């Protein structure tokens, strides 16, 4: 398949978002070589149903696919860069839009060097706000390999609800994989459920 | 007139009481009648039909699934009568992951006779066999006991509740996700 032709102007109406530590901006042609080490890291790519990328050509195909998705209103992916120095550290966004049902799927990847610093949670909050308030989604879902505890924990910490395990849902590299379905609804994002308060001692539960 | 435009022959299925056959232009009136019935349409994620045009769209969708190789929908008829009384088949096929969604309807006059259970068995056999599926899934409105009964009897397992998964007439609806895997089906038959 020939790549979709795009350049930085393809994204001129892109909704740039700002968080405490990051700018979430449109993909750029020049991002390819910076993103490739992240997308070729077996630990980052584990359980995503995709093999680590090996060649720049594959990276270009990915970026071209994102540009096409954005132009056809089928997806959006923000590139996460540090405010401080502009370093590109990961990306996240929405795909598999179902406009009739106001739903979409969430995806994300972060350079291993920046794990465990709350960066993806910080980016996620901004992207969810945009998805629910500006893009008018009612349900944002995420599918996670059952073995990917890191990703499942990330979603639960960020207010997603585990709905069930879809058995043999994907066939990747010759193996059927079980995926966990998570979702967050607009009303939950608007009014996050309060953590259950502990019953006082001696009170009937 | 048959609506099938394909080099492959349509796989007619016969059971004890039913013949599952291809969609035809003369099914149109019967399709409209069934889809006008609020009892049949209650949990279908669509309002009851009002026009023949809607029935024509549904009929085109049935035929297109087979003609465009995107799935397969059989017209359910009673043996010896040849009239459309319902439909069953596969859509939302994902070849790469070897899964498909199953869906079906039956005229209210034919409920509670085990007819859908009779139809679903050979349809699943065809899906897991000829069509090479590994996973057949179904999404069902939680209060639709009739449909859940058909699936559970066929060996489907409930995986979870997909919250506000569909919007019908402006209202968000939860759906149960059920599935049957090829290896489970092989154990049953």
Provide, as residue numbers in chain A, all residues whose Cβ is less than 8 Å from the Cβ of B138: none
Nearest CA among A92, A141, A140 for reference residue A120: A92
Query: B6 falls in which pLDDT band (50, 70, 90)?
Result: confident
Query: B131 falls in which pLDDT band (50, 70, 90)?
Result: very high
- Segment A160-167 shows an average pLDDT of 98
Give the separation between CA B153 and CA B107, rounded to whole angstroms: 20
Q: Tell me how close the Cα of A5 comes to any Cα of chain B, in angstroms.
A: 26
Query: B188 falls in which pLDDT band (50, 70, 90)?
Result: confident
The per-residue pLDDT for range A30-88, each reduced to its tens digit, is 999 999 999 999 999 999 989 999 999 999 999 999 999 999 999 999 999 999 999 99
Please give the helix or strand (H or E) that residue A106 lies within, else none.
strand A103-110
Q: Which one of B94, B101, B135 makes the best mutation probe of the A interface by having the most chain A beta carbons within 10 Å?
A: B135
The whole-number pLDDT of residue B17 equals 98
Closest residue, chain B, to A140 (C-alpha): B165
Provide, as residue numbers in chain A, all residues whose Cβ is less than 8 Å from the Cβ of B135: 167-169, 176
- Segment B3-32 shows an average pLDDT of 95
Closest residue, chain A, to B156 (C-alpha): A167
- Name which of B97, B163, B172 is nearest A169 (Cβ-Cβ): B97
The whole-number pLDDT of residue B65 equals 96
Mean pLDDT is lowest, of B2-11, B60-69, B76-85, B143-152, for: B2-11
Helix (H, G, I), strand (E, B) or coil at A58: helix
- Size of chain A in residues: 205
CA angle B85, B86, B91 (to 5 degrees): 160
Give the separation between CA B147 and CA B139, rounded to whole angstroms: 10
Provide, as residue numbers in chain A, all residues whose Cβ is less than 8 Å from the Cβ of B165: 101, 103, 139
Name which residue leads in pLDDT, A116 or B6: A116
Tell me if chain B has a CB within 8 Å of the CB of A23: no
Closest residue, chain A, to B139 (C-alpha): A166
Show Cβ contacts of residue A182 under 8 Å, excluding neighbours closer than 6 positions. A141, A142, A143, A144, A152, A155, A156, A160, A161, A162, A163
Q: Is the pLDDT of residue A200 over 60?
A: no
Tell me if chain B has a CB within 8 Å of the CB of A139: yes
Q: What whole-number percentage of chain A has pLDDT above 90?
A: 90
Give the separation between CA A178 and CA B181, rounded to whole angstroms: 12
Q: What is the mean pLDDT of chain A?
A: 94
The whole-number pLDDT of residue B1 equals 85
The whole-number pLDDT of residue A205 equals 44
Give the separation between CA B5 and CA B25, rounded to whole angstroms: 13
Is A11:A29 a contact under the CB 8 Å cutoff?
A: no
Q: Is the pLDDT of residue A197 over 60?
A: no
Beta strands B135-140 and B99-106 are parallel
Tokens of B169: 């007439």
The per-residue pLDDT for range B137-170, each reduced to its tens digit, is 999 999 999 999 999 999 999 999 999 999 988 8
Q: Is the pLDDT of residue A112 over 60?
A: yes
Q: Give me the total of CB pairs closer than 8 Å, taking one residue from chain A and one from chain B.
A: 63
Query: A198 falls in which pLDDT band (50, 70, 90)?
Result: low
Residues of B with CB under 8 A from a CB of A: 96-99, 134-135, 137, 157-167, 172, 177, 179, 181
Closest residue, chain A, to B172 (C-alpha): A101
Tell me if chain B has a CB within 8 Å of the CB of A96: no
């Amino acid at each position: 398949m020939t790549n979709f032709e795009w350049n930085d102007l393809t994204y001129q109406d892109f909704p740039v978002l700002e968080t405490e530590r990051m700018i979430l901006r449109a993909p750029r042609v020049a991002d390819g070589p910076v993103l490739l080490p992240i997308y070729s890291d077996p630990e980052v790519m584990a359980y995503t149903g995709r093999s680590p990328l090996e060649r720049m050509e594959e990276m270009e195909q990915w970026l071209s696919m994102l540009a096409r998705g954005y132009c056809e209103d089928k997806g959006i992916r923000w590139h996460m860069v540090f405010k401080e120095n502009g370093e590109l550290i990961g990306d996240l966004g929405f795909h598999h839009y179902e406009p009739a049902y106001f739903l979409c799927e969430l995806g994300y990847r972060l350079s291993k060097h920046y794990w465990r610093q709350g960066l993806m949670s910080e980016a996620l909050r901004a992207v969810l706000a945009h998805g629910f308030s500006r893009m008018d989604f009612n349900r944002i879902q995420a599918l996670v390999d059952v073995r990917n505890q890191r990703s499942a924990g990330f979603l639960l910490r960020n207010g997603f609800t585990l709905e069930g395990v879809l058995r043999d849902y994907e066939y990747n590299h010759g193996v059927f994989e079980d995926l966990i379905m998570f979702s967050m609804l607009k009303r939950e994002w608007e009014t996050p459920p309060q953590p259950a308060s502990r019953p006082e001692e001696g009170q009937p539960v | 007139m048959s609506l099938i435009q394909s080099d492959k022959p349509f796989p007619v299925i016969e059971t004890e009481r039913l013949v599952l056959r291809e969609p035809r232009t003369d099914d149109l009136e019967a399709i409209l009648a069934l889809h006008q019935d609020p009892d049949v349409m209650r949990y279908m994620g669509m309002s009851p039909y009002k026009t023949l045009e809607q029935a024509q769209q549904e009929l085109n969708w049935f035929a297109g699934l087979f003609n465009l190789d995107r799935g397969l929908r059989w017209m359910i008829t009673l043996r010896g009568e040849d009239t459309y009384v319902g439909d069953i088949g596969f859509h939302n096929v994902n070849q790469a992951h070897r899964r498909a969604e199953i869906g079906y309807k039956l005229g209210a006059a034919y409920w509670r006779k085990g007819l859908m259970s009779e139809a679903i068995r050979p349809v699943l056999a065809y899906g897991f066999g000829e069509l090479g599926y590994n996973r057949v899934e179904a999404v069902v409105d939680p209060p639709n006991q009739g449909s859940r009964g058909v699936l559970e009897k066929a060996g489907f397992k409930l995986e979870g509740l997909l919250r506000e998964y569909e919007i019908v007439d402006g209202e968000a609806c939860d759906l149960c996700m059920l599935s049957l895997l090829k290896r489970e089906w092989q154990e049953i038959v």
